[in-house]
């Protein structure tokens, strides 16, 4: 890959004194290209290099909705050529409502890269930089990672509001470069198409796995967060709703009901008085179809990504599609906020707290 002339001095500086380098820039300014050029120069100089792909919407190291980390052992022309060594499941393709997960996951992947011996860790980030949300996201991520180099790639001065607050930080060098002439704007449709291809590629060799509910913990869902309700109370709820009920839990937030079909809540007042709570969440069993999930081990380390197909509440197991070879190490199933088919068609998002 030819090195962009305007970037060469910054790239050579980082390669000569490696550490952690984070890219910051709006969409389609050349962050990924800068990452690849920097890795090429550093690898040629004999530096042990890792890349953290923190762009959850257009992730190329790992499936969409994840932060992937890969070691650069050979010359690469695209991030998708690299096999992820570690993954962190975010479960969303937009970081706006998942700032904590994106920031924590980026820091974890940087730590994993350093633990594997990387001397240069290059962090490629999302293009969300504008507005208060963009600033919060990048400020939190930079503060947690504390990169040795903060590289702002901009057409004019659109990321100065992110760079300037870190200008007095010790041991952090801020470098500014102009947008690459090779950078091309990608339409919303093209971005969606690329995600579909990546989803399809990830799930192409998937197989079905049965996971016993009693063998795992569940994250990012009310399911499993409380204690199952006794059968007589469950029957009272079923009679009140005039609807078959699959599962009921008492959580710290109130009553969590999963029914066979959509139920009328005309008798909600009766339930509130009986259980002395106004916090009643009711969803159907169908809500658990085609949910993107992370499969993690006992230490919370993401092993792979799957698609939840259904939950059998009577026999207490989940049916998940995933390319993971064996389900035995899975101790945590992390619910995402995306619904998608194994063919890669996005079906919509799930609002935090709705499940």
Instruction: Write the DSSP string, 76-112.
Output: -SSGGGSPPSEEEE---S--TT-HHHHHHHHHHHHHH
Do residues 67 and 163 share a domain?
yes
Specify the residue for token string 């060799």: 205
Would 193 be classed as within a structural domain? no
Please check whether residues 307 and 271 belong to one and the same domain.
Answer: no
Residue 197 located in a structural domain: no
Q: Which tokens in the block code for residue 157?
A: 């001065």
Predicted pLDDT of residue 273: 80
- In terms of domains, do 50 and 176 share one? yes
pLDDT digits (tens, 9 = 90+) for 291-348: 999 999 999 999 999 999 999 998 999 999 999 999 999 999 999 999 999 999 999 9
Tokens of 220: 């990012």
Question: CA 65, CA 79: separation in Å to the nearest integer?
Answer: 16
- Asked if residue 241 lies in contact with residue 235, where contact means CB atoms within 8 angstroms, the answer is no
Domain holding 162, by residue range, is 5-186
Task: For residues 49 and 131, state if they share a domain.
Answer: yes
Averaged pLDDT for residues 48-62: 91
The rounded distance, in Å, linking the Cα atoms of 269 and 260 is 21
What's the rounded Cα separation, in Å, for the pair 217 and 238? 27
Question: What CA–CA distance (Å, rounded) separates 182 from 195?
Answer: 22
Indicate whether 256 belongs to any domain: yes
pLDDT at 183: 63
Same-domain pairing of 165 and 43: yes
CB 260 within 8 A of CB 246: yes
User: Per residue in 250-275, pLDDT tens?
Assistant: 888 788 889 888 877 777 788 878 88
Range list of β-strands (E), 231-314: 245-251, 254-259, 280-284, 291-296, 302-312
- Regarding whether 253 and 141 lie in a shared domain, the answer is no
| Cβ–Cβ under 8 Å, residues 54 and 67 | yes
Antiparallel, parallel or unpaired: β 332-340 and 291-296: antiparallel
Same domain, 216 and 342: yes
Whether residue 244 is found in the same domain as residue 299: no
243: which 2 tokens? Answer: 């609807």
Pair (234, 151) in one structural domain: no
Looking at the domain assignment, is residue 262 inside a domain?
Answer: yes
Q: What is the pLDDT of residues 116-170, one digit of tens each?
A: 999 999 999 998 898 999 999 999 999 999 999 999 999 889 999 999 999 999 9
In a domain, 21, yes or no: yes
Q: What is the pLDDT of residues 205-240, one digit of tens each?
A: 899 999 999 999 999 999 998 888 888 888 888 888
Q: What tokens appear for 13 in the block?
A: 């500086």
My answer on whether 180 and 248 are in the same domain is: no
């Amino acid at each position: 890959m030819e090195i962009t002339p305007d970037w060469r001095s910054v790239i050579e500086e980082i390669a000569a004194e490696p550490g952690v380098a984070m890219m910051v820039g709006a969409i389609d300014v050349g962050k990924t290209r800068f990452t690849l050029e920097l890795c090429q120069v550093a690898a040629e100089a004999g530096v042990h290099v890792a890349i953290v792909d923190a762009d959850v919407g257009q992730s190329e190291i790992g499936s969409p909705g994840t932060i992937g980390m890969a070691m650069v052992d050979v010359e690469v022309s695209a991030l998708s050529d690299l096999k992820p060594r570690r993954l962190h499941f975010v479960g969303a393709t937009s970081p706006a409502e998942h700032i904590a997960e994106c920031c924590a996951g980026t820091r974890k992947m940087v730590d994993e890269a350093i633990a594997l011996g990387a001397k240069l860790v290059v962090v490629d980030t999302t293009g969300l930089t504008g507005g208060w949300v963009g600033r919060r996201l990048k400020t939190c991520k930079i503060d947690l990672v504390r990169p040795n180099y903060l590289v702002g790639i901009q057409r004019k001065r659109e990321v100065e509001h992110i760079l300037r607050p870190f200008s007095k930080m010790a041991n952090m060098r801020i470098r500014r470069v102009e947008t690459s002439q090779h950078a091309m704007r990608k339409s919303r449709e093209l971005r969606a198409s690329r995600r579909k291809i990546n989803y399809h590629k990830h799930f192409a060799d998937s197989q079905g796995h049965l996971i016993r509910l009693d063998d795992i913990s569940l994250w990012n869902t009310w399911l499993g967060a409380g204690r199952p309700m006794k059968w007589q109370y469950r029957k009272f709820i079923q009679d009140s709703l005039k609807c078959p009920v699959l599962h009921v839990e008492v959580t710290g937030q109130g009553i969590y009901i999963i029914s066979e079909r959509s139920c009328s809540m005309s008798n909600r007042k009766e339930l509130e008085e009986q259980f002395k709570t106004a916090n009643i969440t009711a969803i159907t069993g169908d809500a658990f179809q085609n949910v993107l999930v992370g499969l993690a081990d006992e230490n919370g380390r993401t092993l792979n990504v799957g698609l939840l197909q259904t939950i059998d509440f009577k026999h207490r197991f989940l049916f998940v599609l995933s390319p993971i070879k064996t389900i035995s190490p899975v101790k945590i199933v992390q619910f995402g906020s995306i619904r998608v088919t194994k063919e890669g068609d996005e079906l919509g998002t799930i609002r935090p707290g709705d499940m």
